[in-house]
Amino acid sequence: MRLTVLVDNNASHDLAGEWGLSLFIEVEKQKILFDLGASDLFLRNAVWLNIDLMNLDYLILSHGHYDHTWGLDYWLKHRAKIPRKVGTQPTFLAHPFALNPKFRDDMTEFGMITSEIILKRFFKTVFSKEPVHLTEKLIFLGEIERRFDFENNHPPGKIFKSDGSLIDDYLMDDTALVYLTTQGIVIITGCSHSGICNIVEYARKVCHEERVLDIIGGFHLRGLKSGDPQLEETLNYLKNLNPGRIHPCHCTDLSAKIALAQAVEIAEISVGSAIEY
């Protein structure tokens, strides 16, 4: 597997960054785009990196927030200009709730703005709460089991119920990927709204593998002061887990990275980074 970072908060060389995440994954002859950032930046960075995003096998969403999905409209506009061949549509894969409208407390849009009707013109659409094998070794986890009560306690926004009332959004659509290696599993996250520890535990359960070689992506640890229960419990969990290393990025702030570095080995990651397993 080869993973290339197309969008992150931090960038390197001649590439640009933004608040968001987009990863390009190549595995077993499959080309997979995991999230698309908040703008057309993922496309521009892909051109610079000589990566073709118009011939994908899968386009996968980690969850339905704007900083992981609003790039989709730009991809659709580019793809619409290319003649289609019958049976060549990539598969769009996400949790069933990923397309649900999401709002901040001030009622500004916080979620996807692309409809399922439009998606079906460009993709074979699959919405699953259950794990899905993308290849023999790469798995979409579906809905993450919420095991730890110190995670996912602060809903970042609202969603509408079927009766039109607003309720807190605990991001049940938040998911991740897991890749199996001979040294353990590699977990690839978007934002970890469901909790990074919850994600790791569920990935271990799905794969029947205790060893964790790496964790790559957003950990959703930001604005937490030393002694915060979520931060402290996460540090204790990761210390006991003892992964080979981790690559925290996007929604993991500097203070969290410093704290994480006291518990496990951290490797640097930014736009343009390429990691191989």
Run of H or E including 205: helix 196-207
The CATH fold of domain 2-276: Metallo-beta-lactamase; Chain A (3.60.15)
Q: How far apart are CA 173 and CA 175, in angstroms?
A: 6
Mean pLDDT value across residues 47-70: 97
Q: How far apart are CA 105 and CA 112, in angstroms?
A: 16
The CA-atom distances, in angstroms, between 277 and each of 33, 194, 214 are 17, 26, 10
The CA-atom distances, in angstroms, between 135 and each of 55, 151, 182, 188 are 17, 30, 16, 15
What is residue 270's predicted lDDT score, i.e. its pLDDT?
97
Mean pLDDT value across residues 18-30: 97
What is residue 91's predicted lDDT score, i.e. its pLDDT?
98
| Whether the predicted pLDDT of 87 surpasses 80 | no
Helix (H, G, I), strand (E, B) or coil at 3: strand
- In tens, the pLDDT along 133-162 reads 999 999 999 999 999 999 988 898 999 877
- Domains of the chain, residue spans: 2-276
- In tens, the pLDDT along 189-202 reads 999 999 999 999 99
What are the beta bridge partners of residue 274? Answer: 4
Residue 163's pLDDT band, with cuts at 50, 70 and 90, is: confident
- In tens, the pLDDT along 122-139 reads 999 999 999 999 999 999
Backbone angles phi, psi at 159, to 5 degrees: -135, 160
Mean pLDDT value across residues 58-75: 98
* % of the chain beyond a pLDDT of 70: 100
- In tens, the pLDDT along 203-259 reads 999 999 999 999 999 999 999 998 999 999 999 999 999 999 999 999 999 999 999
What is residue 70's predicted lDDT score, i.e. its pLDDT?
98
Q: How far apart are CA 252 and CA 17, in angstroms?
A: 15
What is residue 116's predicted lDDT score, i.e. its pLDDT?
95
Residue 88's pLDDT band, with cuts at 50, 70 and 90, is: confident
Residue 182 buriedness (CB in 10 A; 0-12 / 13-18 / 19+):
exposed
Q: What is the CA radius of gyration of the chain?
A: 18
Residues written for the chain:
277
What is residue 17's predicted lDDT score, i.e. its pLDDT?
97
What is residue 86's predicted lDDT score, i.e. its pLDDT?
67
- DSSP code for 181: E
Quickly list DSSP for 97-108.
TTTS-EE-TT--
Angle, to 10 degrees, between the axis of helix 254-261 and the axis of helix 229-241?
40
What's the whole-model pTM score? Answer: 0.97
Mean pLDDT value across residues 165-185: 96
Residue 105's pLDDT band, with cuts at 50, 70 and 90, is: confident
Backbone angles phi, psi at 194, to 5 degrees: -75, -5
Q: What is the largest CA-CA distance in the chain?
A: 57
Quickly list DSSP for 207-243.
HT---EEEEEEE--B-SPPTT-HHHHHHHHHHHHH--
